[in-house]
Structure 1
Amino acid sequence: MRSNGIHHVTAIAGPARRNLDFYTRVLGLRLVKKTVNFDDPGTYHFYYGDEAGQPGTILTFFPWAHVAPGRLGSGETQETVFRVPEGAIGYWVQRFVEKGVPHQAVEQRFGETVLAFKDPDGMRLALVAVPGIGNEPGWAGGDVPAEHAIRGFHSVSLLLEDTAATGAILDDVLGFKEIGREGAMVRYRAGDTAIGGIVDLQAAGGALPSRPGAGSVHHIAFRAADDAAQAEMVKRLADNHRLITTEQKDRAYFRSVYFREPGRVLFEIATDIPGFAVDEPADTLGRALKLPRFLEPHRAEIERVLPDVA
């Protein structure tokens, strides 16, 4: 069975404790996995999501305490957008006021009600009110009541010099189809995928290139059901678009390949399997520091370097 849509979004943050507090306490997401950056094990890798950590709900961070701020520009994810029940927007406006979260006035985009806001590092985020999702399970283990809780991703938007070539990758390889336009924005949807099923492309010809840093998205991962589905997508990229991915990398909870799409945004194709319960029970996800096998012999050294977030 083919799985399309967003698998996860990975971003760069400042201090780890501040990041953890904002996403678990203010936004009420579940810390699904506490591990390290496999390529830089002196740095945490936090995974936030819904109760089960299902694809399409996962926002991850590499927190570096002294990282410089990023700069929005062409070739970058402009905004990461979550779904909330239709009646929850008022709750979130009030919550952001009470918590001092920078936010904009509620607006309409593509006929949907949107509340844009920023996290402590200036990462651009938004909530979209989606009718009919109130019965979807919401994580109730945090500070946000389940009836108002975030229900995974709605979309991401990319700021690009030109949208056509990126749109072709979304369409031909990643399972998305164009469904509408609004101003300079082109919207793509992955069939009937409800969670993480939308990508918006905004043309920004002549914009300065982006500069990565705190508040920037590092990459966007798209779903592949398994290794065979991923391999098919890799072949299509090469055959139809002359784009070569990295070799497959084992990220413990999924297996990944990476490539730069034509607009220079880093894309990942990640398998749905094996999932986040592969190394700890589902009911205790995120409580213990989990390390891949090749780093386990270095646990004591890694734990000495990592900042205390208990």
Structure 2
Amino acid sequence: MNKRDYRPFQDLCELLLRGISRQQRKEVGAMVSLLDSTSITLRGPHFDGWTAATKTRITQGLKVHVGLDLAQLAPVYVNITPANVNDLSDALEMPIQAGMTYVFDKGYCDYNWWHQLQTKGAFFVTRLKKNANIKVLHKHSTVAEQSPVMTDEVILFGKKHLGGKRLNDYRETPVRRVVVEREGHATPLILVTNDFARTAEEIAGLYKDRWKIELFFKWIKQHLKLKRFYAFSENAVRLQIYSALISYLLLHLFHRRSGFTGSLFELTVRISHVLHERPATPELRDRRRQEREKLKAAQGSLQL
């Protein structure tokens, strides 16, 4: 694994991702992509030589950035970076699809990137920071009595300059603020979006669905051998990560096309068992039949 180049595996993974993305556009009406990342911790004498230089206060190793299609629960975007590449830096390089709704947390907070999403015909749903400088223009919709939504308003960002003295491209463009009551929390959830068509409840539901990408990360780490690495070079680790992602994508495609009604994990278990079974050739079936007949005859003789 140390000598085999990981890049052909990366190319195959990207080919499969494009296939998932085409299927998404073909079958799904409203496209939603959940954005997040997960860290692959790589510490110790075997890894420190190439991971120590990019470690952060929180982790050391690599980071896997993913865009997960909400309808198919399959990735449509993957990028593997050093641990010190933050989520926003990766998102700035990510291809943007028109018509897509991107759902992400406060780690992707950058008004100019949000404006870029809107300019390219995409939508976003994310959390708004508590200290955000905003101006409320008017109410967008009336909130139902039993709804968890507290307010639904149209706002403007008040900041003229962002970090690094950059001009705020979103300053004169209205966006929507949705405040949602959270059960068991003293403070509400404050969301911001450029989607004026969905209801406030639908916007809140999209952000709530973010937990599904956490389940995806947990699944691949538990079931696709990403807790223990078979070699220690950066090339070998990347190769193993791409192999795990390729396995997931192939399982996902087979699961959809085969009509298998069980879960993806059940399909994984079934395939792993089948791989170790000998194919049932006509000769093997005949031999098994003869063995069963001999066994029945022997059992009959013992009974007599």
TM-score range, shorter chain: under 0.3
More strand per residue: 1 or 2? 1
TM-score for the superposition, normalised by structure 1: 0.25
Q: Which has the larger radius of gyration?
A: 2
Name which structure has the greater RCO, CA cutoff 8 Å, separation 6+: 1
TM-score for the superposition, normalised by structure 2: 0.26
